[in-house]
Structure 1
Amino acid sequence: MASSKKMLQIFVASPDLGLPSRSLTLSPYLTLHSLKLSLFPSQNLTQTLNCLYFSLNGKPLLDSSTLSSADVKPSSLLTLRLRFSGGGGDGGATGAESRDCYLNMYAVKKPDKVDPNETRLSRWTTCAFSSEPLAPPCVIDRIGNIFNKESLVEALIHKRLPKEFSHIRRLKDMIPVHLSPIPDAGRQEMRFQCPISGLEFNGKYGFVAIKGCGHVLSGKALKEVKTSACLVCHKEFSELDKIVINGTLEEVALLRERMEEERGRSREKMEKNVGCSLSGAKHGVGETAGSLECVGKDRSAKRFKAVDIAPVNATKEVYASIFTSSKKTEFKETYSCRSLPLGRN
């Protein structure tokens, strides 16, 4: 009876190994290492047993401790767990912290790496505004971006162009281009090429659009055949008529500077034409226009009078009365009728 009081009845379970809970009656001086040996008598390998450890209420226990020193009470539940390398289990950590860090690392989705080849191909095969596949009729702006004409015109009409395309202000800022499709390239997506060299329009090679005729040729073809005429329609063009499509930053900056210079010249020409129209020289008014211009420049000059240009057979006083009252009278005329002066009706 006395020996039975010294024994402890405890429960041992191992969810990691798939073993159900079972009851054991043990001596309080039994070490946990000896308990593992009793549970696995066929496992003689020390390394295998070292992968297992006991825990009580979530607290890992050392194999060298006894049931009494580990403060194991009667009817306590000892849990046999697997010890993973680097995951704790030796009294320092349970491994839960490292698992949380691992999950938090993937909690925020990292952006996918963009393939530069796909970016380049998309720039040369889709509309710069709508990102739809290029389909004729196509146009370019004055700095080399290529568009589907329909989508660009619609965006311009409804004022939906983004800031990066703010330099497109009217239809004259769009240059129609002729892209040469590749024969038998498939019906799903049109692909284009240089009509002279056969190089594909995909960004691997430089392409130039000729502003006068709109033909798109590879830079290699223009370099090998040195001519001032289009290789397709034989129309003459100058160096300023060549627009590099999807050029580098330096090429785009040069085209933008050229565009601003052309707009400045157009603005000066328009102001000059407006000045000529106001002076009358454009419409050939002759001496009358010249006298008006002189009056505007020199206020001390003689003022213009209607009688100076009266017809030959007309009475000057009658002709002048058409424009202003030629006789001074004490009666004031109404604002709407000269024949009914005030005081006479």
Structure 2
Amino acid sequence: MPSGALRSTRHQIFIQFSGSLPSRTLALTPSTNQTFRDLRLSVLPDSSQSSDYYFTRNGRILDDSDSIFGALNSNLSTMILHRKVRGGGGDGGATGAESRDCYLNMYAEKKPDKVDPNEQRLSKWLNCALSNEPLREPCVIDKLGNVFNKEALVEALLGKKLPKAFRHIKGLKDMMNIELSKIPGIEKGHGDTQFQCPVTGLEFNGKYKFFALRGCGHVLSSKALKEVKSSSCLVCQQEFKEADKVVINGTEEEVDALRERLEDERLKIKEKKSKKVKNGEASDQVIGVKHKASTREDGNGRADSNAAAKRFKVVDLAPANANKEVYASIFTSSKKSELKETYMCRSLPLGRN
């Protein structure tokens, strides 16, 4: 609308009062050249306090020197009259613009973002439990059912960088190679699951329970093992027992059962070793060369049992044609002497050439 038409038309405005003033609404018809300052002086009961108030429209502060007709472009416009809040500006007070939540949020501890349980479950089945990289062959599992990329796990073992959660893995004997059946047409590094049950076709994504067989390492779904009751692998026909099934990424109860089985296996191995030592089966390994060297025959060709208890000496291992004194001097000082050895050479004491 042209400015001339705006000035010739009589517009009506509404004023709402807020703050300490009584809550009410005025309907006024301003004059053509009236400013917002003039309007404020006309509506306030005490004109001496007019500088403490200001107008806003749609959240925007209106300047006192602006003409009402120049600032408003529509009839029946509504303005709000506010009272200024004292304080702020560096004197330690509040400006009134902040809310209490601003200060609470400033000092509140940041809570970690909520993780989607479905994404967390899927990541556990698609990625290596150690490096969090996508699974790629060759893959292995530990005795608790965690899935790893073999390369990442071996590197962590060699570098002794295994996290505390995987300290039960001591070496290659604590991991088992597995054979995962790949879904046809899925490229390596695809965002979705890459593997499936070779019998039922169920995806290896955590929605279904999977077992790995210790003997052959093939990974089969629980559904396949239940529907086809057999004591041999459904892929390679290798025989297995119920104890040879290791659940993959099992529940807490299933992991606890696997952990108890692991402890029982280690205790049995320790008991076997201790029995061998008691029965003398491992005496040769424990005593080693010293035992053999100290066992000599007497003049009649029989083994001298007392010689086994004697202290081991280097000269006992001297070659047949060697001088025992010279042979012993290679390893230690065989003769006592007043001359002291130097760090340069044992055969050249100080003061002698």
Who is 2:159 aligned against? 158
Gaps of 5+ in 1: 1-39, 282-288, 290-303, 312-322, 325-333
**Do residues 43 (structure 1) and 17 (structure 2) align?**
no
Q: How many angstroms does 1:103 deviate by? A: 4.7
**Do residues 143 (structure 1) and 169 (structure 2) align?**
no
Aligned runs of 1:1-345 on 2, under 5 Å?
42-45=11-14, 50=25, 63-68=43-48, 70=49, 79-82=54-57, 89=82, 97=96, 99-101=98-100, 103=102, 111-189=112-190, 191-275=194-278, 276-278=280-282, 306-307=297-298, 310=301, 336=325
Who is 1:32 aligned against? none
Give the letter aligned to residue 281 of structure 2: S
Give the letter aligned to residue 170 of structure 1: G
Matches of 1:160 and 1:115, distance apart in 2 = 29
SS of the residue 1:307 aligns to: coil
Q: 1:162-193 CA distances to partner (integer Å, 9 max, x unpaired)?
A: 00000000110010000000001234426000
Matches of 1:124 and 1:210, distance apart in 2 = 17
Matches of 1:310 and 1:62, distance apart in 2 = 135
After superposing the two structures, state which structure 1 stretch, 110-119 or 271-280, moved more. 271-280
Structure 1 residues 64 and 280, CA, compared in 2 at 3 Å: closer, same or farther?
closer
Q: 1:119-146 CA distances to partner (integer Å, 9 max, x unpaired)?
A: 1110000000000000000000000000
Identity of aligned residues (%): 47
Matches of 2:81 and 2:253, distance apart in 1 = 59
Q: In 2, are the aligned partners of 1:83 and 1:89 still within 8 Å (CA)?
A: no
Q: How many angstroms does 1:245 deviate by? A: 0.2
Q: 1:11-59 CA distances to partner (integer Å, 9 max, x unpaired)?
A: xxxxxxxxxxxxxxxxxxxxxxxxxxxxx9622545699499x999xxx
Q: In 2, are the aligned partners of 1:209 and 1:242 still within 8 Å (CA)?
A: yes
Q: In 1, are the aligned partners of 2:145 and 2:247 still within 8 Å (CA)?
A: yes
Q: How many angstroms does 1:277 deviate by? A: 3.0
Q: 1:46-87 CA distances to partner (integer Å, 9 max, x unpaired)?
A: 5699499x999xxx999442314x3x6xxx797433486xx9
Q: In 1, are the aligned partners of 2:209 and 2:222 still within 8 Å (CA)?
A: yes
Q: How many angstroms does 1:306 deviate by? A: 4.4
Q: In 1, are the aligned partners of 2:135 and 2:149 still within 8 Å (CA)?
A: yes
**Larger Rg over CA atoms:** 1
Q: Normalization by structure 2: what TM-score?
A: 0.59
Matches of 2:104 and 2:41, distance apart in 1 = 31
Structure 1 residues 158 and 64, CA, compared in 2 at 3 Å: closer, same or farther?
same
CA RMSD of aligned residues (A): 4.5
Structure 1 residues 237 and 47, CA, compared in 2 at 3 Å: closer, same or farther?
same
Q: In 2, are the aligned partners of 1:120 and 1:203 still within 8 Å (CA)?
A: yes
Q: 1:222-250 CA distances to partner (integer Å, 9 max, x unpaired)?
A: 11111111111111111111100000000
Q: In 1, are the aligned partners of 2:140 and 2:147 still within 8 Å (CA)?
A: yes
Structure 1 residues 77 and 257, CA, compared in 2 at 3 Å: closer, same or farther?
closer
Q: How many angstroms does 1:93 deviate by? A: 8.9
Gaps of 5+ in 2: 1-8, 18-23, 28-34, 60-79, 88-93, 286-291, 303-311, 314-322, 327-334, 336-353
Structure 1 residues 265 and 77, CA, compared in 2 at 3 Å: closer, same or farther?
closer
Matches of 2:95 and 2:41, distance apart in 1 = 17
SS of the residue 2:133 aligns to: coil
Structure 1 residues 171 and 279, CA, compared in 2 at 3 Å: closer, same or farther?
closer
Structure 1 residues 78 and 164, CA, compared in 2 at 3 Å: closer, same or farther?
closer
Q: 1:303-327 CA distances to partner (integer Å, 9 max, x unpaired)?
A: x99438616xxxxxxxxxxx99xxx
Matches of 2:178 and 2:203, distance apart in 1 = 16
Q: How many residues align?
A: 252
Q: In 1, are the aligned partners of 2:53 and 2:84 still within 8 Å (CA)?
A: no
Q: In 1, are the aligned partners of 2:54 and 2:82 still within 8 Å (CA)?
A: no
Matches of 1:140 and 1:202, distance apart in 2 = 16
Stretches of 4+ moved more than 2 A in 1?
A: 44-52, 60-64, 76-84, 87-113, 186-190, 270-281, 304-309, 334-337
Matches of 1:274 and 1:158, distance apart in 2 = 33
